[in-house]
Amino acid sequence: MKTISIINLKGGVAKTISAANIAHILATVHGKRVLLIDNDKQGNISKMFRIHRYENPSIAELLTGRNANIYEIITPSQYETLDIIPANMTLIKANLEVLLDPSRPQQTRLRTALKGIAGDYDYCVIDCAPDINISTINALVASQEVWIPIKIDNFAFDGLAELKEQIENIKEDFNPELSLYGCFVTSYQNNEVNRQGEAWLHEQKDYPVFHTHIRRTEKVDESTFANAPILEYSRRCGAARDYLSLVTEYLETVSDSDTRGGK
Ligand SMILES: Nc1ncnc2c1ncn2[C@@H]1O[C@H](COP(=O)(O)OP(=O)(O)OP(=O)(O)O)[C@@H](O)[C@H]1O
Ligand SMILES: [Mg+2]
């Protein structure tokens, strides 16, 4: 199982939209077995896939519970090969509880929990909160790849250096397999600001960048009201086609480097 954390310290840059749609495309277009983890108290992924319920166990129990049964937490979606670990506001308390309980390792709990089910999935995609807290640290410790969605505006690159430093620290202390796989531009508009911002990003040697950007389309906002992946809501809109291209670009790069024995 390849585990991908979608993260940016900035809010509202399309982390959730990207995690949901990348996971949905990997599962329904490419036939991969995918586990999508909602790792944000806002529970937007859980709401989008209509599994947001306080009576069911969630990521909070996985992080705090000694005997949490991951099979009881994993919830099937309406798509055959896409399962979800939900989240809700109980994650706030869970984060505190983890911090107050040093009797067990605090940063490796998600990784330990996922070990038992790694053979059941090809990909695990984790939607993170716009923050570095103990649950995002757990996500990074459990991941091989970090993908960073970036929405170009005046503050677009704030926090990027800090995030990169966190990735380096976690790589050194807990998870030598972790790498910043790629940044990708979201909500792209064909204007000077976006063109310049994207060009700047491509010039940065420290930040790998996907060629594909995701165009801004009103349909994406609408799809959140419909609680539907963009491919189902509007298959032909720019954002749907771009998410398809992003996943194809990724799978081609992965299979290229596999045949070369790289990355
Ligand atoms: N390609 C797009 N075109 C138009 N709107 C978009 C696009 N991608 C995302 N949005 C909109 O941007 C908003 C933020 O998206 P999203 O919730 O995925 O961001 P986020 O980074 O997960 O936010 P948070 O930091 O709160 O978790 C949503 O209203 C979403 O509909
Ligand atoms: Mg989000």
Residues forming a β-bridge with 185 = 150
pLDDT tens track for 12-67: 999 999 999 999 999 999 999 999 999 999 999 999 999 999 999 999 999 998 77
Shortest-distance atom of ligand 1 to CA 19: 18
| Predicted local confidence at residue 23, as pLDDT | 98
Shortest-distance atom of ligand 1 to CA 224: 31
Among the bound ligands, the one closest to the CA of 239: 1
Q: Residue 50 contacts by C-beta under 8 Å, 6 or more apart in sequence?
A: 78, 227
The model's confidence at residue 254, banded by pLDDT at 50, 70 and 90, is confident
Average pLDDT over residues 149-177: 94
Distance 260 CA to ligand 2 centre (A): 35
The model's confidence at residue 184, banded by pLDDT at 50, 70 and 90, is very high
Question: For the whole model, what pTM was predicted?
Answer: 0.96
What does the DSSP 8-state code read for residue 51?
A: -
Integer Rg of the chain from CA: 17
* Any ligand 1 atom below 6 A from CB of 213: no
Longest dimension (CA), the chain: 53
pLDDT greater than 70 at residue 260: no
Alpha-helical runs (H) found in 40-191 = 44-48, 59-64, 70-73, 90-99, 109-115, 134-142, 160-173
| Predicted local confidence at residue 261, as pLDDT | 45
pLDDT greater than 90 at residue 122: yes
Q: Residue 145 contacts by C-beta under 8 Å, 6 or more apart in sequence?
A: 2, 3, 4, 5, 178, 179, 181
The model's confidence at residue 256, banded by pLDDT at 50, 70 and 90, is confident
Distance 12 CA to ligand 1 centre (A): 5
What does the DSSP 8-state code read for residue 119?
A: G
